[in-house]
A and B are shown apart, each in its own frame.
Chain A
Amino acid sequence: AQSVTQLGSHVSVSEGALVLLRCNYSSSVPPYLFWYVQYPNQGLQLLLKYTSAATLVKGINGFEAEFKKSETSFHLTKPSAHMSDAAEYFCAVSVNTGFQKLVFGTGTRLLVSP
Chain B
Amino acid sequence: EAQVTQNPRYLITVTGKKLTVTCSQNMNHEYMSWYRQDPGLGLRQIYYSMNVEVTDKGDVPEGYKVSRKEKRNFPLILESPSPNQTSLYFCASSSGTGGKTGELFFGEGSRLTVL
Contact = CB atoms under 8 A, between A and B. Distances in A.
A100 B108 contact: no
B102 interface: yes
B106 A43 contact: yes
Contacts of A44: 43, 90, 92, 104, 106
Contact of B102 (A98, A102, A105): A102
B9 to A, nearest CB: 9
Interface of B: 4, 31, 35, 40-45, 48, 50, 58, 90, 92, 94, 99-104, 106-109
B108 A94 contact: no
B100 A99 contact: yes
B100 A100 contact: yes
B35 to A, nearest CB: 8
B101 A99 contact: no
Given A100-B101, A101-B48, A104-B42, A41 B108 contact: yes
B42 A43 contact: no
